[in-house]
Each structure stands twice: as C-alpha cells, then as structure tokens.
A and B are shown apart, each in its own frame.
Chain A
Amino acid sequence: MTKKVIVLGEVREGALRNVSFEAIGAAKKISVGGEIVAVLLGESIQSLGAEMIHYGADRVVTVEHPHLKSYTSDGFSQAFMAVVESEKPDAVVFGHTALGKDLSPKVASKLKSGLVSDVTGIEGEGDGAVFIRPIFSGKAFEKVKVKDGIVFVTVRPNNIEPLAHDASRSGDVSSISVDITNLRTIIKEVVRKSSEGVDLSEAKVVIAGGRGVKSEEGFEPLKELAKVLNGAVGASRGACDADYCDYSLQIGQTGKVVTPDLYIAAGISGAIQHLAGMSNSKIIVAINKDPEANIFKVADYGIVGDLFEVIPMLTEEFKKLKAN
C-alpha cells in the first residue's frame, strides 16, 4: 500500500542540512510511490522549499513564525503537529540530529506512536519496511519493524542515500499559519563553539586527533589536512580532557557519533569508548607510533609512524592529487 510520508527538513544558518535530503531518500522507500510532503519550520524559509522538491519531495508545507526562529520543543512541536493534523500522514521521517533527537520523542508521544530512532539502513519497503539501527554504541545492530500506528523514524546523518538532485522537478510550496503560544523555554544566548566550516556529524571526511597530538598547536597540521580534503576535525576524549581542543570535537560513546566515508585517526589509541563513535565509518585509517595500538584492529589501512611526519606528507600528497 502506498503511504503518505512527511519529512521534516532541517535548516541551519539559512541552509538545508544534508540529512534533510537523506530523510527524503528514506521516505521514498517507506512511501512506495505515495506522496512525500516536506515540512519546513522557521522564520523565513519559503525559498528553501524548491530544494526539497529537487531532492524528491512532491510538495512542501512551511510554517513561518518569529517564534520558530530558534528551535524550541514547544514551538516546533506546535507547528509540526498543526501540519500533521492537516496532512494526516502515514509515516514521518526526521534526521537524527540534535533537533531531531529532541523533537521526535515529543511528537511521537503526541501521536501515541512508536519511534525508531537513529536508523542507518532500511530493508524492504512500505508496510514491509524493516529498519536497521545500531545498539550498544554500534557494537551490535537490530532490525525493527513498526507493528501499529504511524511509522516514525529518525535517520542518522550520512547513512541513507539521498535521491539524485533533479532541478527540473517542480511542486507546490504552500504555507499554513499556526498560532504559537506558551513557549516555556527562552533561549537567551547561543555560544558557538563548534568549528566553522564542515559540520562534524555530516562530514564525508573526518581527521581526528588524540592525546598523541600533544598540544593545541598540534592540531594545526590536522586542520590543514581537513581543509584540503574538505573534511572536519574531530578528537578523542583524551585530547579534549587534556585541553588540546574543545569538547565539541569529541567523538565516541559520550561524544558525537560519526560515520564518514573516510576517518583518519592520528595519535588515538582506539579505546572501546572511542570506537563507539567511529567504528561504522566506511574507511578507517590509523596513524600511530605504537604498532600494538588497538586502533589498528579496526583500521582498513595503517601507518606506523609519527603523526607529525605523516600528516604533513599526506597533506602534500593530496594537494598534488587535487592539482592534477
């Protein structure tokens, strides 16, 4: 049976995040040809609608309101539920981002529905769709199906293929007005600590440094390599605890979970709690002085050596490659 699927597009600093397009990819599998309606919530976002359609949405509904300028669970859930009430979807897809993680359980509770969080793969389609998600910090996976009610899933960034961008696709972008009241949280200020440039949880390439980087300055060569590869810099908790970098870069069980195409671990021993955040990366490269380091057990390629020698050489080599 075809299903009508609502996808929440996520806007960050005026642009749609990639995970929004990946969510449409997931919606496509669930919908089996049914309608895909993208929802955008914010202050002035109407113009972003077309991009959701180019990536496969059939139609876009926006809610614009000054109270939606920054995310709050109260504001966004009121706006989203208003769309749900008028659209009556069979399924809902969010990204498993900070926003998606915060909002989805509240919406699921209001819908009295199940919620399959942090989905990394989908088998089958429509009513037969089975969702794959990591459990035990990626040490195992489970296959989950929805037995009853609305099919609601959040998808982990970088795991579900988006549909091909097609600029010739067109569709209706409409807006509904929602009265947003009773916001119980006020955001006084946002202190930005995450590095400019490529977002760590969505980066295709991550260069991560550990205690072996030895100092704040020690991260410089990693940043240069990241720039050449259009990637993001990450870190182990060892490096964060030692104050070489901000905790916003921490990858692992108590930090971010990343699944880039390429993960380069430099001066990281490979503790189990670190692996929890990166072991599902497609290709892992380890650079470590110690040939016995645990990180080599999960690495696809390893170089035993001093990162301060290897990383600059790598940067040069990639630069040469780019120049050709």
Chain B
Amino acid sequence: MNIYVLIKRTFDTEEKIVVSGGKIQEDGAEFIINPYDEYAIEEAIQVRDAHGGEVTVLTMGGEDAEKQLRTALAMGADKAVLINIEDDLDELDQFTAAQLLADYLKDKNPDLILAGNVAIDGGSGQVGPRVADLLEINYVTTITKLEINGSQVNIVRDVEGDSEMIETSLPLLVTAQQGLNEPRYPSLPGIMKAKKKPLEEVELDDLDIDEDDVVAKTETLEIYLPPKKEAGRVLQGDLSNQVQELVQLLRTEAKVI
C-alpha cells in the first residue's frame, strides 16, 4: 500500500507565545510534530505493518522542518519529503498549502493519505479535506478507528463526542482525532536508522504549478495576545458566605446568571 502522511511542524504545546511587531517570536522556541499528526504517523506505520507497502511523510515548510521529518522516520516511516518554500513564498494560507501538497501528490497514486484533524497553531483544520478535494479522492475527518480489508475501509468517526460507524473505500484521506492510537516514541535504533533513510527536498520550481495558483487568498494583518486577565478574586470567609457571595457576584457584577 502506498501511504502518505501530511505532517506540520508546530510550536510545542507547553510553549509560551511571545508576540513582537505583530508577529510570533520563534527564537528559542521548541518545535514538535503537530500532536494530531503523530497519531496519523502511528496509524500509517500500523497499516503498513499489517498490509505491506511504504509510508512517506510529507511536509511543506522551511529547512527547519527536516527535524520533524527525521523524527517521523525514526518512529518508522520509510521516506520523507520536504516541499521547501522558504525562498519562494512569503505569503501563504491554507489555500496555498493545499495547492502545493496536492500538486506534489497528484502523480504519486496514494492509496491512503493520513493527516491531523487540526494543526494546534494555525488551527483551521482545512488542509486535509482541501487536499482530498484537489486530488478528487474521498475523505473522512476526526477518525478514532481505521480498519482496512482489501479496498474496503471501516472507520469510526468522532462527531462532537458521538461515534459514526462509516463504510468507505480506498483511495482515501483521513484525519486523525485523539483516541486513534498511542503514538510510539522513536527508539534508539529507530533514530540511528532514520539518519540513513531518504529525505527528498522539493522546491516550487520542481512542481508543476504556476506561481499564480499558489497566491494566498487571505492575509493575516496582525497577531496579538489576548488581554491579560487580572488575577481573579479568591473569596474569603466562611464557606457558606463565600457561596452566597459568589452567586451575588455572578448575578450583579458579572451578570451571567
């Protein structure tokens, strides 16, 4: 089976966000594979181990994203591809990202593509379904279980907490939801092996796409931090008085009840 995983390099979830000059400060921040994409990688490896084939991890970004690709190789992916846009594009959005990823994939005949359901930084959840639509293949988002028999696929999809049992077929793109699996940590031998696995770098010129087709449709004007919350009021005194005071405050001061 020919399996592709779309992965994104993101800020570590514990990282504090610093904004200066309307932009996110990246200096010194820790970066990780988007947590949902880790589920996607793990699932891809399990599908390959059960059905044979090859897992290729694909990312669009700058040179720095090689580190996350190597981590995915160390987990057990076979090959990695970086679409390096660093020198070519200075404005991009989800439209652009999907155009580039789909253009790379269009002649690769993937049977199965896995992505995360959402990137924890950009947070739009658009890239997976957009790529599927551009490739004219079916997609199922927020999956928590995947079973493949031949070209038939059974899926459990999480829908705001309810579970849908879905039947569909390959070729297919799925996006991973928490609960799909427990992603493995790269093992030491895995890390050693990853150093020798192929990591291909592709630039815009290598793709069969016009610059006009990747011009962003939206523009970020400004990034800012939410207003800092003042330290809240911890109520004092006898517990029953505190409870009465709280109800009063919610009614008269906060006006939410």
Chain A residues with CB under 8 Å of chain B are 73-74, 97-98, 101-102, 104-106, 108-110, 112-118, 130, 133-149, 184-194, 199-201, 204-205, 229, 246-249, 253-256, 261-262, 272-273, 276, 279-280, 282-286, 291, 296-305, 309-310, 313-314, 317-318, 321
Contact = CB atoms under 8 A, between A and B. Distances in A.
Given A135-B223, A142-B223, A194-B162, A102 B247 contact: no
Contacts of B250: 262, 283, 285, 301
A142 B220 CA distance: 7
B210 interface: no
A146 B223 contact: no
A145 B218 CA distance: 6
B216 to A, nearest CB: 7
B130 A105 contact: yes
B244 A143 contact: no
Report whether over half of chain A's contact residues are helix, strand or loop; otherwise say mixed.
mixed
A309 B239 CA distance: 9
B192 interface: no
A140 B13 contact: no
A115 B221 contact: no
B61 interface: no
A105 B121 CA distance: 17
A148 to B, nearest CB: 5
Given A135-B122, A143-B222, A283 B254 contact: yes
Report whether over half of chain B's contact residues are helix, strand or loop; otherwise say mixed.
mixed
A114 B216 contact: yes
Nearest to A117: B124
A185 B16 CA distance: 41
A194 B159 CA distance: 9
Contacts of B160: 97-98, 194, 199-201, 248, 256
Interface string B125-156: 11111101110001111100000000000000
A65 B124 CA distance: 30
A191 B215 CA distance: 42
Interface in B145-194: 159-169, 178-179
Given A144-B220, A149-B217, A186 B166 contact: yes
Contacts of B223: 135, 140-143
Of A194, A291, A317, which is in contact with the most chain B CB atoms at under 10 Å from its CB?
A317
Given A118-B123, A291-B234, A254 B166 contact: no
B237 to A, nearest CB: 10
Contacts of A110: 133
A246 B239 contact: no
A311 B91 CA distance: 50
A147 B233 contact: no
B28 interface: no
B232 A301 contact: yes
B167 A186 contact: yes
Given A141-B224, A193-B161, A309-B239, A101 B125 contact: yes
A58 to B, nearest CB: 27
A282 B256 contact: yes
A140 B129 contact: no
The 7 closest A-B pairs by CB, nearest first: A248-B161, A114-B217, A194-B161, A109-B133, A105-B129, A114-B218, A117-B124
Contacts of B178: 247, 254-255
Contacts of B98: 105, 109
Interface of B: 11, 13-14, 16-17, 19, 24, 35-36, 93-95, 98, 120-130, 132-134, 138-142, 159-169, 178-179, 215-226, 229, 231-235, 239-240, 242-244, 246-247, 249-251, 254, 256-257
26 contacts: A74-B138, A97-B160, A104-B126, A105-B128, A108-B95, A110-B133, A113-B95, A115-B126, A136-B11, A139-B16, A148-B215, A185-B140, A186-B167, A194-B161, A254-B35, A273-B13, A279-B226, A282-B254, A283-B250, A299-B232, A300-B229, A301-B250, A302-B234, A303-B242, A303-B243, A305-B242
Nearest to B129: A105
Contacts of A102: 129, 141-142
A317 B240 CA distance: 10
Given A105-B125, A110-B133, A185-B140, A313 B220 contact: no
Contacts of B167: 185-186, 188
A135 B121 contact: yes
B165 A314 contact: no
B119 to A, nearest CB: 10
Contact of B162 (A109, A191, A279, A321): A191
A98 B224 contact: no
Given A296-B232, A300-B254, A305-B242, A114 B95 contact: yes
A305 B223 CA distance: 38
A136 B165 contact: no
B246 A283 contact: no
B36 to A, nearest CB: 8
Contacts of B93: 114
A177 B40 CA distance: 39
Contacts of B166: 185-188
B232 A302 contact: yes
B226 A137 contact: no
